[in-house]
Amino acid sequence: MGTKINQKGRILESAARIVGQAGAAHLTIDAVAEAAGLSKGGVLYHFPNKRSMLEGMLNKVLTDVGQRTAGYRAQLGDEPGAAIRARLLEEQEQSGQERAMALALLAAAAEDPGLLDPAREFLSQSFAEIRDASASGDQDLAQILLLAAEGLRFLEMLDMLPLSADQRRRLHRRLQALAAETTPSASLA
């Protein structure tokens, strides 16, 4: 079982590398098989077609985002704005591989919008969680901050973010400070 999981991971990493280096148009089963050092049949065993490979990439991205967010959420505990702060911290850690996978999904979604249905559901749940976590505070600000985090993710994915690393760090510090304002402070209660 571990070998199958390792092969699936290797296939998805190879697919992300292809997209990152050559673009989404070059993502084919043959190219992924070659990049992963597997036979075409080996790739098809795990992903019977390109759509299932793209679904696997999306699942990996969403799982990684969810795990990072949960880790930060546990770390922050009951601190003010912990739910949105966890998402902001998670967004900073998006890997190049995740960006490449997301870019491939975006390109594929132009032809098959239904491919992004799991991402739509994930974001819908994210907004609901942020609203619930800030129910006694500023829900609008919490949602604006989530939109900012997702906007940053999107612009990074497209390699269109016109900020230096220092500017991005300053922006994240400011977003974190604003996130703490989404819930009333204990001294006001």
- Cα separation of 91 and 172, whole Å? 10
- Cα separation of 71 and 150, whole Å? 18
Average pLDDT, the chain: 89
CA angle 147, 152, 158 (to 5 degrees): 125
Average pLDDT over residues 3-32: 86
Least confident of 21-30, 117-126, 169-178: 21-30
Provide φ and ψ at 95, rounded to 5°: -85, 165
pLDDT given at position 100: 83
Is the separation of the CB atoms in 85 and 176 below 8 Å? yes
Question: Is the pLDDT reported for residue 189 higher than 80?
Answer: no
- Cα separation of 43 and 36, whole Å? 9
pLDDT given at position 99: 85
Whole-angstrom CA distances from 101 to 39, 98, 117, 148 are 22, 5, 16, 21
Average pLDDT over residues 1-14: 80
- Cα separation of 87 and 126, whole Å? 9
- Span 63-120, pLDDT tens digits: 999 999 999 999 999 898 999 999 999 998 888 888 888 888 888 888 889 989 999 9
- Cα separation of 1 and 8, whole Å? 11
DSSP H helices, 23-138, are 29-36, 40-46, 50-76, 82-92, 96-109, 117-133
- Span 12-22, pLDDT tens digits: 999 988 887 88
pLDDT given at position 2: 57
**Which residue ranges make up each domain of the chain?**
50-183
Does the domain spanning 50-183 belong to CATH 1.10.10?
A: no
Pick from 58, 3, 50: nearest CA to 30: 50
- Cα separation of 106 and 1, whole Å? 31
Count Cβ atoms within 10 A of the Cβ of residue 176 and give its class: 0-12 exposed, 13-18 middle, 19 or more buried.
middle
Question: Is the pLDDT reported for residue 187 higher than 90?
Answer: no
The structure's pTM equals: 0.85
